[in-house]
Amino acid sequence: MASLLRMPEVAANSTDAILAAWTKKEGDAVALGDCIAEIETDKAVVEVNADAAGVMGRWLVQAGQRVEVGAPIGVLLANGETAAAMESLLASAGGSGSASAVAGAAAAAAPTPQPSSAVANPAAAPAPASKRVFASPLAKRLAAQRGLDIATIAGSGPKGRVVKVDIERADAQIAAGAVTAAVTGVVEKPAALPTQGQSAYTETPHSGMRRTIARRLSESKSTIPHFYLSVDCRMERLLALRAEVNSASPRKISVNDFIVRAVAVALREVPEANVGWTEDGMRHYQQADIAVAVSTPSGLITPIVRQADRKSLSQISEEIAELATRARAGQLRPDEYQGGSFSVSNLGMYGVREFSAIINPPQAAILAVGASQQLPVVEGTELKVGTVMRCTLSVDHRAIDGALAAQWLAALQRAMESPLSMLI
């Protein structure tokens, strides 16, 4: 029989989410387990799969709308059912005999974010009315990466939805225009300069993910009493071991893989530091679940390597690579980035020597890792050149005292400087 499709709770304790896209059109056949829609959470895009076979009867919510958890978003007809069954279902659900009441209840959450718009001088003229843009999550990501205003691109998908091919076509047209200008010397007239005292700018509405990052970091920095400890790790032995491993292994192990393993070993050695702070009590974690910071087009996300203290270096390497790839594609499940007992943020690949990271509550610490550099070091009475990497530990003083933090950092240094010990 006909059934209502409802907005699922795709993340723990979530009250609403954005219906990013429908993957089944009205009238399409639906098999058990088929992806029928994509839901955008604060951190990722999650697929919604059909729990029964049938036919997509009607969309009650358009793509791009924010919908409360549990609210109806569509109607799934059983095979062979007619539109009359759908109207009967909607009448009983909405109490008005039409889909409008049900659809209105579904869209009761916050208004949909509007597309970005260029603003040269906001005081000069009133802004034009905003227009909702229907686009696939992939198209949105490609447009953001290539600096395209998706509101100006005509969509070729269902009901004018902007899809990947539209972004690629628009990008190619812009590139062709640039080549023509270079050959002919004819260029478009530049935009008018802003009036005195007003700089030109573009404004992009905050994504749900960016708002969540901003809120959590503000809360962390303003409510957690951070303190910081740094240690310099000699890297010669680790880099030599890594080169030897990579010469014989089909999978190339990164320095970051060694760091995650060393963090897990140090937490196993000093379990008192593997804790989290809550208002009700101290959480003592039973395993080292390491959250690894990954930069994505939408913002920072921390997929988690579970039980890193019980996994080999090659297992950790493979898992980090797979999680990072899906994180950048927005395909992580909530359980893959929620939780964790400790975080690692590594900016060494960008040449950053040292920095301090902000704690991700309820965790009580995060390790910030800089680049390995050739620096003068003293060995005995001799001055030599050594390869040094600086690690800075940010600590929640409510959960971890200074002496304990120093003890854990010493354990990390030993693991980094004696890399064979962390592989046992």
Q: Is-contact 312 320, C-beta < 8 A?
A: no
Contacts of 100 (CB under 8 A, 6+ apart): 94
**For residue 247, how many other CB atoms are within 10 A of its CB?**
7
SS (H, E, C) 168-203: HHHHHHHHHHHHHHHHHCCCCCCCCCCCCCCCCEEE
Best CA proximity match to 414, nearest among 406, 320, 354, 397: 406
Prior bond of 271 cis (ω within 30°):
no
What gap in Å lies between CA 358 and CA 424, rounded to an integer?
31
Helix, coil or strand: residue 260: helix
Helix, coil or strand: residue 323: helix
Q: Which two tokens stand for residue 8?
A: 């699922």
What gap in Å lies between CA 221 and CA 344, rounded to an integer?
17
The full DSSP string for 113-161 is PPPPEEES-TTTSPPPPP----B-HHHHHHHHHHT--GGGSPP-SGGG-
The full DSSP string for 75-92 is EEEPTT--HHHHHHHHHH
Indicate if 397 belongs to the active site.
yes
**For residue 14, how many other CB atoms are within 10 A of its CB?**
16
Best CA proximity match to 300, nearest among 368, 397, 394: 368
Q: Is-contact 42 337, C-beta < 8 A?
A: no
Q: Which residue out of 206, 226, 284, 397 is catalytically annotated?
A: 397
What gap in Å lies between CA 51 and CA 111, rounded to an integer?
29
- DSSP class of residue 350 equals G
Catalytic positions, written as ranges: 397
